[in-house]
């Protein structure tokens, strides 16, 4: 929930100065669509996932080098500080950064389609602190139910990978657009060492996996300005 509120706040802060400006003064060379020198901001997400109307994924900035090519930077952040019981607090935070590049195939009227490639970097920080029981760093679990050889849940990690995607977007006037994106991504993850009360409980482990990515199936954006 905190992640969704942060993204909604960012979107509102961006949209206010956009609609306060004179649209005709900043129309790009593409005549309503994004073109050379344009800076855009968008949020992405997956609609109708579970009980949520929209599960937010990324906040993204895009800059068009030409009418067919753009660089972009996606950001993802989730801060969670949960007091599960009066004496147990779980901190679980994630930070992600996704720099990438887009090539646009179709630039026809208000519609355009494109392919994109992104590098992906992320870090998850997890701890479970207790005033009456064991304190866990690098994961969140009850040490009484696991051994050092088990597959521990809720691990802290560093990860990197790549993603290739195809997408499309439709522009409503000079400022606002909606679209969607789907792709495939591969992740290599280094799970951090786990400590219980300051003593090593489990050494670092590694995972690698690939999957179809639909977290950016819907995106909503604004053309902020023309540089």
Q: What is the pLDDT of residues 112-150, one digit of tens each?
A: 999 999 999 999 999 999 988 899 999 999 998 999 999
For 17, the 3-state DSSP assignment is helix
Cα separation, 101 vs 208, in Å, equals 24
- Per-residue b or e along 187-196, where b marks 16 or more CB atoms closer than 10 Å to that residue's CB: bebebbebbb
Lowest mean pLDDT among 23-27, 149-153, 157-161, 206-210: 23-27
Cα separation, 117 vs 183, in Å, equals 9
Cα separation, 43 vs 210, in Å, equals 23
Burial of 120 (0-12, 13-18, 19+ CB in 10 A): buried
> Which segments within the chain are labelled E, that is strand?
38-49, 52-64, 69-85, 88-108, 111-130, 136-137, 157-172, 176-191, 194-196, 199-202, 205-213, 218-226
Dump pLDDT digits (tens) for 71-98: 999 999 998 888 888 889 999 999 999 9
Report whether 217 contacts 168 (CB < 8 A).
no
- pLDDT interval class at 23 (50, 70, 90): very low
The residue count for the chain: 227
Considering the entire predicted model, what is its pTM? 0.82
Cβ within 8 Å of residue 192, ≥6 positions away: 138, 155, 156, 157, 158, 204
- DSSP code per residue over 152-165: -SSB-EEEEEEEEE
């Amino acid at each position: 929930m905190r992640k969704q509120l942060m993204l909604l706040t960012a979107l509102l802060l961006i949209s206010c100065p956009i609609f306060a400006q004179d649209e005709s003064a900043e129309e790009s060379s593409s005549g309503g669509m994004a073109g050379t020198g344009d800076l855009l901001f968008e949020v992405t997400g997956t609609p109708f996932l579970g009980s949520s109307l929209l599960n937010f994924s990324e906040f993204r900035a895009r800059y068009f080098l030409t009418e067919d090519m753009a660089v972009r930077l996606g950001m993802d952040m989730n801060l969670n500080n949960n007091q599960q019981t009066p004496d147990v607090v779980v901190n679980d935070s994630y930070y992600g950064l996704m720099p990438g590049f887009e090539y646009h195939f179709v630039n026809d009227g208000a519609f355009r389609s494109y392919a994109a490639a992104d590098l992906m970097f992320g870090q998850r920080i997890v701890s479970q602190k207790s005033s009456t029981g064991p304190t866990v760093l690098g994961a969140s679990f009850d040490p009484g139910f696991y051994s050092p050889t088990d597959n521990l849940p809720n691990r802290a990690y560093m990860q990197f990978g790549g993603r290739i995607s195809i997408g499309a977007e439709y522009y409503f006037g000079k400022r606002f657009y909606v679209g969607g994106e789907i792709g495939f991504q591969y992740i290599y993850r280094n799970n951090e060492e786990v400590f219980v009360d300051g003593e090593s409980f489990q050494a670092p482990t590694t995972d690698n996996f690939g999957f179809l990515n639909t977290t950016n199936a819907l995106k909503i954006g604004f053309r902020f300005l023309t540089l």
